[in-house]
A and B are shown apart, each in its own frame.
Chain A
Amino acid sequence: MFTSKITKIVVNILIILFVENIFADDVFDGVSPQLGVIISDDYIEQVDFVVMPSGEGLPKGSGNALTGKVLYNIHCMACHGPDAKGGINGDLAGGHGTISGPIPKKTVGSYWPYATIIFDYIRRAMPYQSPGTLSNNEVYALTAYILNLNGVIGEDELMTAQTLPKAKMTNSEGFIWAYSPSE
């Protein structure tokens, strides 16, 4: 009995010493396995889809609304309707001037703040059944067509990484931030 008590005490002391040595109060305090593997610029280029409202992240390429209309009728009209209205899914044109009225009608043209969003979203997610199949030129052309339907640009205006961020959306002044940093 007595020896077993002594053994217990010794074991407890050893556990305390051992644990204290290996683990700090906060077991991970400042300790990280540092297993991140550096990735190359080429690889980043492949996985980075982020487009900023300034145009940063937009790829090379160009397209206008005339080309875009042909592409739209093939890839988009089934869901979004002719001239981007009245389809089974969201209208991309129209609704202008309704946003501050009694029944706001949000479309790309009446509501979206930046033209860059159109390019970004088409490139990421459209056409719905086969995203990633359009070339950058085709995405620029479709973006131009939607902008043209909403009266933002002319039908032969070329959209590129330089011109697209400058296309001024009708509701571009219609947004504020609810979030503010705590500093």
Chain B
Amino acid sequence: MKKISDNINFAANNGLLDRRFILKAGLGIGGGLMSASALSSEGKDRLPWMKQPGMPMGQSGPSRYEEHIKREGVGSQPGTTGSGASRTPIEHLDGIITPSRLHFERHHSGIPDIDPAQHSLLIHGLVDRPLSFSMESLARYEHVSNIQFIECSGNSGAMISPKPLQRKASNLHGLVSCSEWGGVPLKILLDEAGIKPKGKWIVASGSDAAMMSRSVPLEKIMDDAIIATHQNGEPLRPSNGYPMRLFLPGWEGNACVKWLRTIKVTSGPSMTKDETSKYSDLRDDGIAELFTFPMGVKSVITSPSFSLNLAGPGIYQIKGIAWSGSGRIKNVELSADGGKTWAEALLDEHILPKALTRFRSAWKWDGAPATIMSRAIDEKGNIQPTREQWFVGRAKNTFYHFNAIQTWGVNTAGEVNNVYL
């Protein structure tokens, strides 16, 4: 087996290797794998599943050996079963697409079981022609599809805890997912209805039992909002708004109203419960900010992370996800010494605007305590803040739009913990 040379060029202190090293390091792995199976006839190796035909084709889920990879932190408010959240198991995923069955959830009164034949999109308010669109008719309109993230603005809210909570990356930061969203640009439908000059906002309402509703400025709607009907190639899952949801690239998830039924064009915001009492950002001077729509630049190392401990000193892949509601990720920097020195991570090829971007780096862990962290920078020059910077000016217990740097501490036993610097 190829031995990793001791003469490695490090990109930053405490073992961070040049980001290109990951490719070279990979060459050394694999050749030494020894089969534990008994040899079959003629002295040739066949594992048990190579000795008879496999399962029939047709419907299939993940391997039974991967069934532990499921939505994490499923919880509902007291007295309810459908008012709460579940999280994407980001520590077990790779790439940038979130499988639909693992997309995070945040519902306010359960998941409605909607018959698409009885569902229409209704556009009314300050329009020349109030219109209804059936699912069938929407299918004939121009569709677009884009790979984009959606993040609940309450994501990472547990990070305001005064003491770091020892939870998996999913439980801390798993209210973010990324899908290929397909549907009809809402502008086309609003143009057909004809917006009156006084129309400046819309109020979107869902057909869940809470009729969850949000006001969105028309400027965003006419820019890149879509009526999403498809997610990762298939019709939306019920937990993501089947048969249709509002999708606002880069903006907080709550405004992307699921199970969308009505769009009322208005002169201003309706000031719904979910844009005033919730999803508002209280400052330390007692003033609260409404309509903080774009999600801030952010990154999280998903491996190593809490519960994914290191087996012993050696070469590891550090990997994670980065995203920004303002555009593309420009670069992600990694530190293994608590932020004293930084090295640039390798970004996977797909660096799309308002999408998750996968970053990686090789790391030679020498067995000593280490403090690893990632810092994302987007194409607009926004830099992911430190936890200390994030708190400046905010009320102590406000938790929306938390996008500060996540720090993981590795102890000599290889255990990974959530730590604050």
**A interface, CB within 8 angstroms of B:** 27-28, 31-39, 44, 47-53, 57, 78-79, 88-89, 99-104, 106, 108, 111-114, 116-117, 120-121, 124-125, 128, 131, 174-179, 181-183
Contacts and interface: CB of A to CB of B under 8 A. Distances in A.
A58 B245 CA distance: 26
Contacts of B109: 125, 128, 131
A37 B213 CA distance: 23
B211 A178 contact: no
Nearest 10 A-B pairs (CB), nearest first?
A: A100-B286, A36-B131, A35-B137, A179-B291, A125-B210, A88-B78, A28-B142, A124-B211, A178-B289, A178-B292
Contact of A120 (B77, B188, B273, B286): B273
Contacts of B217: 179, 181
A106 B131 contact: no
Contacts of A33: 137, 140-141
Given A32-B191, A38-B131, A103-B396, 19 more contacts: A32-B192, A33-B140, A36-B133, A36-B193, A38-B130, A48-B262, A50-B264, A50-B266, A89-B77, A104-B286, A108-B277, A112-B273, A114-B276, A117-B271, A121-B273, A128-B80, A176-B287, A179-B292, A181-B217
A171 to B, nearest CB: 8
A181 B122 contact: no
Nearest to B82: A128
A174 B137 contact: no
A39 B285 CA distance: 47
A100 B78 CA distance: 28
A102 B78 CA distance: 27
B268 A52 contact: yes
Which of B193, B281, B291, B398 has the most C-beta atoms of chain A within 10 angstroms of its own C-beta? Answer: B291
Nearest to B282: A104
Which of B188, B270, B281 has the most C-beta atoms of chain A within 10 angstroms of its own C-beta? Answer: B270
A50 B79 contact: no
Nearest to A124: B211
Which of B140, B189, B277, B397 has the most C-beta atoms of chain A within 10 angstroms of its own C-beta? Answer: B277
A179 B293 contact: yes
Contacts of A35: 133-134, 137-138, 140-141
A39 B124 contact: yes
A74 to B, nearest CB: 16
Interface of B: 77-80, 83, 108-109, 122-125, 129-134, 137-138, 140-142, 188-189, 191-193, 200, 203, 205, 209-213, 217, 219, 261-262, 264, 266, 268, 270-273, 276-277, 280-282, 285-293, 395-398
A131 B273 CA distance: 16
Nearest to B123: A36
B219 A181 contact: yes
Nearest to A106: B277
Contacts of B288: 99, 111, 174-176
A106 B278 CA distance: 9
A119 B188 CA distance: 33
Nearest to A131: B209
A174 B287 contact: yes
A99 B262 contact: no
B287 A49 contact: no
B141 A49 contact: no
Contacts of A176: 287-290
A179 B269 CA distance: 11
B199 to A, nearest CB: 13
Given A32-B192, A36-B131, A112-B276, A177 B291 contact: yes
Contacts of A183: 219
Contacts of A79: 78-79
B77 A36 contact: no
A99 B80 CA distance: 28
A133 B368 CA distance: 63
Contacts of B262: 47-49
22 contacts: A32-B141, A33-B137, A35-B141, A36-B123, A36-B137, A39-B131, A44-B122, A47-B124, A48-B124, A49-B211, A50-B213, A52-B270, A57-B270, A78-B79, A103-B396, A103-B397, A113-B276, A120-B273, A131-B109, A131-B211, A178-B292, A183-B219
A125 B273 CA distance: 11
Given A50-B264, A104-B397, A177 B130 contact: no
Contacts of B80: 128
Contact of B395 (A36, A104, A181): A104
Nearest to B278: A106
